[in-house]
Amino acid sequence: MNIIFLGPPGAGKGTQSKRLETRYGIAQISTGDMLRAEVKAGSDIGREAKSLMDAGKLVPDTIIVSMLESRIQQPDCARGFILDGFPRTVAQAEALDVVLARLSRRIDVVLMLEVDEDALADRIAGRFSCAKCGASYNDVSKPTLVAETCDLCGSHEFIRRADDNRETVASRLSAYRKETLPLLPYYEDKVMVAFIDGMAPIDEVSKQIDSTMTEVEKLTQK
């Protein structure tokens, strides 16, 4: 099962992607994590990407897509993958289609998390994560069970991203509407697109996604 997660920044794509990864045994692929891994490994692509980032430049689509092609061929992607945060533009989607065709693979479903932008700004402003294990929390929707203590590892150290504020969120949402929303009509002509209520409680969002996955599995087995 090969999945693309769409939705504005902070909609919950990462949380649901990790859950699907565990539930269905398919690999979550984050282009940000992929970049950092290549840089850390010191690969040719990683060195090229690092030189660009050090110079304050964006890593071009050609490098991202090349890394993605390599990543998709890793053993943990044999049963499928989840793309979280990619593609962001129609040009990236077209490049991805070329790669998938070359590998005789395809996207089975696009999950679109829909959210209210004002509520999303509140959600993002409340985000924080464990400095030790990376577990994600939120002041309102997902606080730690014990104050100032990570549920998973027991650490008492947490971090908040400096750009998790309303001004930055407004800018990111503007870019999302301009660059990423055009992906909807692009994919609606090609594959199943499922619209998920991202403002529902996390468990309800999960149920909506699982229902969609069941439907997709039935279609792919025909």
177 is catalytic: no
User: For residues 10-22, b (16+ Cβ closer than 10 Å) or e, as one string?
Assistant: bbbbebbbebbbe
Is 87 annotated as contributing to ligand binding?
yes
Is 88 annotated as contributing to ligand binding?
yes
Is 25 annotated as contributing to ligand binding?
no
SS3 136: strand
Q: CA angle at residue 26 from 161 to 94, to 5 degrees? A: 75
88 is catalytic: yes
Count of residues for the chain?
222
Is 161 annotated as contributing to ligand binding?
yes
161 is catalytic: yes
Give residue 3's Cα distance to chain centre: 10
Is 73 annotated as contributing to ligand binding?
no
Is 85 annotated as contributing to ligand binding?
yes
Instruction: Name the active-site residue from 23, 40, 160, 161.
Output: 161
Is 201 annotated as contributing to ligand binding?
no
Give the type of residue at 212.
T
172 is catalytic: yes
71 is catalytic: no
H helical segments located in 25-158: 31-41, 44-54, 61-72, 90-102, 117-125
Is 15 annotated as contributing to ligand binding?
yes
Q: Which residues are catalytic?
A: 13, 88, 127, 161, 172
Instruction: Detail the residues annotated as belonging to a binding site.
Output: 10-15, 31, 36, 57-59, 85-88, 92, 127, 130, 133, 136-137, 150, 153, 161, 172, 200
Instruction: Detail the residues annotated as belonging to a binding site for AMP.
Output: 31, 36, 57-59, 85-88, 92, 161, 172
Instruction: Detail the residues annotated as belonging to a binding site for ATP.
Output: 10-15, 127, 136-137, 200
